[in-house]
Amino acid sequence: MISLSARKARLLAATCLAGATATPVLAQTEIRLDELVVTATGRPEPRSSIPGTVQVIDAAQIERSPAKSITDLLAENAVGFFSEWTPGQTSINIRGGASDGQGKDFRSQVLVLMNGRRAGTANLSKLSPADVERIEVVRGPSSVIYGSQNIGGVINIILKTGRTAPGTMIEASGGSWGLLQGKAQTGGLYDSIDYYAGISGGQRDDYHSGRGGTTMANTGWKRFGLTGALGLQINPDHRIETTLRTDGVYDVGFRGSGANTISQEDRYNNSFDITYRGQMPGGQYRWMLQGYAVQDVDHFRWASPVIRGGTGLPALGTAADYNRRELNVVGTRFQPSMTLWAGNDLLAGWDWERSSLRSTRDRLGVPGNPLAQVSPQDNNQSETVNALYVEDSQKLWDDRITLRAGVRRTFGTTSFEYTPNLAGQVPRDVDYQATTYSTGATFKASDRLTFRVGYATGFRAPTATELAADFNTLGGGRIFGNPSLKPETSEQVEAGAAYAGEGWRADVAIFQNIISDRIVTRARTGVANTSDYANNSGDVVVRGVELQLDADVLKLAGHGETRWRWSVFGNGAYNFDMEDKGAAVTANSRKPERMYQYQAAIGTRFGQSGGQYDWSIQVTGILRGPMWYNTEENLLAAAEPNRDWIHRKNPFWVWNVRGEVEIAKGIKLFALVNNLFNKNESPIFIGLDKKPYKLDSRFANGGYGTSMPGLEVQAGVQARF
């Protein structure tokens, strides 16, 4: 029989989402020997029993970060490749699985969750880190627990609650290029109720690029977010919690691959979720029931007065090309679990979800180019998904060995529905089914050393657009759908080890991920600017190693009992074998596109606590490794031999510095410098904002290249009480 104290401990772990309590910024560096994580298996479990690689970005890291979006935060921690097209748009690549360039949730191979349920977007640039308690990243498929879209990994954004973020905090800051931003939050406990409320916002004007660059017109933005959470602890065995939020970026410039100085966008995400967790007395039988609703909106105010015509020469384009895309999702998850005998944990689940996508589009040609209306870039669709899954784990040999296996069967129906201005459309329903598996084992060789091995599969179902598309792109091209498309699939094996010493911890993994039946566009032979969706018969194969490291330097040196603090940290990955076996025979490279060959994030933090003025200085370096890319930019002929040329973008480092000092109890001043050495680079663009220009100005619509922000200074004040 499990004691009352044990039941309370288990319940507390679940409700606090893996023990994510707020850590004071200047506290002693904490090296957790066996941290609880919640995402990989759908319930809180020690890292030592997880057969996959999990990376955690906790509250202290988030607070010290200069990130203005979730994209910035993950890029700082070397989670994967982030394209960062604009301040409001990004795409992701983790272990070869990528999201759509527009961040469309329904086309992503990387699954983004919020509080364990579908976030509704894979464009993390529209989401602020202001109300985020922690982020857990599972590398590789976890489709048994989460279903479709999970080919490269899972990013679970866990929001703050009154339990994890008690007290009140107000912060304001300003900086380069007219930056103004602020946030306020309050949370706490009242008897059996816990509450949280947070508000954040900001704006910035057009930034200046790095050394040798200019002011990047049309890169300004505005942000706004609002979050509320309420929890009710009915008794030690039953809890209800709910979250309501809105978050978005507005009036954000969209330069895109053409360095466009005209187009702008609004992108926002709203959601509501309610979760009930309970268990029978003794904790042998447990359950989780979650309901949620998500609205994700992209409103594009685009224009391309000049486009590349069918002959490759400039042609008259649009004075306005307005698109509005709205995704609405409602769903529920029911997960009962039970302990059948000593060391056993059986989880079952049923997921149901209904989503609808609606798009509109209105175009206006420039003078001399009257245009008929055309269909939106995404066909209207509805999708209904039902899934049943089961996962069982068993601990053996005094809990040193954990064996785990699971299977999921997904049943879905994608309905292509009436879409405005789509010629010859034939609405239809397309059913699909998919079975995904996972299995693995961990071995705790000692209290400090753990080995793991795992196998998992994933899939992504085709969308109605891919099944039945007929739309004109912003640049004038046309893409058609294919009703015979198969789901994309992935198959991964990995092995890893973790060691937690006295004052340090390291985690290393080696993996192979094979992505098959990728849904791609292929140029139609003999027809200019026309493509079709198709399954690529060639796999993408990625083999690599990943490393995570944290250390308390003074504790390692035998000086743990001191007011001085000195920590080092790092994350890195090296894909030693990455091949696109479906690349065209005429391609100059078989490297998968938009994926780093290697990357790293390293840093050190030095300071003092416990005195009159607590202070610290943090230095971080971000290595963006080499990446291959068949750019969509219109480059000068001298910049590439032909339009299908795959460029290798060279690696580069970016260094950031942050300092902070507590001038009174709960009052802290901070300042930071981003891009300390004023690098003029971009994660993805070839045509940068520096001379000699590589961009063909005939198609640029105002711009002459795009670079990321140059040296940026920011300062602010934070008060806690």
The predicted-structure confidence for 492-510, as pLDDT tens digits, reads as follows 999 999 999 888 999 999 9
Which residue's structure tokens are 């978050």?
Answer: 247
Mean pLDDT over each residue of the chain, to the nearest integer: 90
Residue 28: per-residue pLDDT: 39
In which domain, by residue range, is 330 found? 4-720
Buried b or exposed e, range 226-235, using 16+ CB within 10 angstroms: bbbbbbebee
CATH number at residue 159: 2.40.170.20
Is 8 a residue whose pLDDT tops 80? no
**Of 189, 209, 276, 275, nearest in space to 237 by CA:** 276
92 contacts 110 by C-beta, under 8 angstroms: yes
Q: Name every residue whose Cβ is closer than 8 Å to that of residue 621 and which is 6 or more positions away in sequence.
A: 600, 601, 602, 603, 653, 654, 655, 656
As a dihedral over the C-alpha atoms of residue 702, residue 705, residue 709, residue 710, rounded to 10 degrees, the angle is -120
**Of 712, 615, 567, 720, nearest in space to 72 by CA:** 712
CA of residue 520 relative to chain centroid, distance: 22
Interval 404-416 mean pLDDT: 94
Q: How far apart are CA 466 and CA 457, in angstroms?
A: 22
**Of 365, 504, 673, nearest in space to 32 by CA:** 504
295-348 pLDDT, tens digit per residue, is 999 999 999 999 888 788 899 999 999 999 999 999 999 999 999 999 999 999
Is 234 a residue whose pLDDT tops 90? yes
DSSP string, 681-697: --SS-SS-SSSSP-B-G
Residue 615, both tokens = 């202070």
Going by their DSSP bridges, the two strands 530-536 and 478-480 should be labelled as parallel
Least confident of 107-111, 206-210, 219-223, 544-548: 107-111
Query: Does this model's pTM top 0.75?
Result: yes
Residue 472: per-residue pLDDT: 62
- For residue 643, what pLDDT band results from cuts at 50, 70 and 90? confident
Highest average pLDDT, of 267-271, 473-477, 529-533, comes from 267-271
When divided into structural domains, the chain yields a total of 1
DSSP string, 334-377: EEEEE--STTEEEEEEEEEEEEEEEEEEEEEEPTT--------S
Is 15 a residue whose pLDDT tops 90? no
List for the chain the helix, strand, coil content (%; round to 5): 10, 55, 40
**Quick count: other Cβ atoms within 10 Å of Cβ 540?**
27
558-614 pLDDT, tens digit per residue, is 887 889 999 999 999 999 999 999 998 889 999 999 999 999 999 999 999 887 889
Is 24 a residue whose pLDDT tops 60? no
Which residue's structure tokens are 């601990």?
Answer: 395
Is 20 a residue whose pLDDT tops 80? no
What sign results for the dihedral spanned by CA atoms 112, 117, 118, 124?
A: negative
Q: How far apart are CA 325 and CA 320, in angstroms?
A: 16
363 contacts 318 by C-beta, under 8 angstroms: yes
Percent of the chain with pLDDT over 90: 73
Residue 339, both tokens = 């302990």
Which pairs count as long-range contacts for 562-567, CB under 8 Å and 24+ apart, including other chains? Answer: 563/608, 563/609, 563/610, 563/611, 564/606, 564/607, 564/608, 565/26, 565/28, 565/29, 565/605, 565/606, 565/607, 565/608, 565/609, 565/616, 566/29, 566/604, 566/605, 566/606, 566/607, 567/29, 567/604, 567/605
606-639 pLDDT, tens digit per residue, is 999 887 889 999 999 999 999 999 998 899 988 9
Residue 10: per-residue pLDDT: 39
**DSSP E strand stretches across 162-263:** 167-175, 179-190, 193-204, 221-235, 238-253
Which residue's structure tokens are 């017109």?
Answer: 217
149 contacts 111 by C-beta, under 8 angstroms: yes
Residue 711: per-residue pLDDT: 98
Is 377 a residue whose pLDDT tops 90? no
Is 662 a residue whose pLDDT tops 60? yes
Interval 432-458 mean pLDDT: 95
Residue 31: per-residue pLDDT: 53
Is 249 a residue whose pLDDT tops 50? yes
Interval 226-234 mean pLDDT: 98
**DSSP at 119:** -
153-171 pLDDT, tens digit per residue, is 999 999 999 999 999 999 9
Is 30 a residue whose pLDDT tops 80? no
Q: How far apart are CA 688 and CA 548, in angstroms?
A: 32
- For residue 4, what pLDDT band results from cuts at 50, 70 and 90? very low
Single-letter amino acid code for the residue at 356: S
- For residue 29, what pLDDT band results from cuts at 50, 70 and 90? very low
Q: Please provide the distance, in angstroms rounded to a whole number, between the alpha carbons at the two ends of the chain.
A: 42
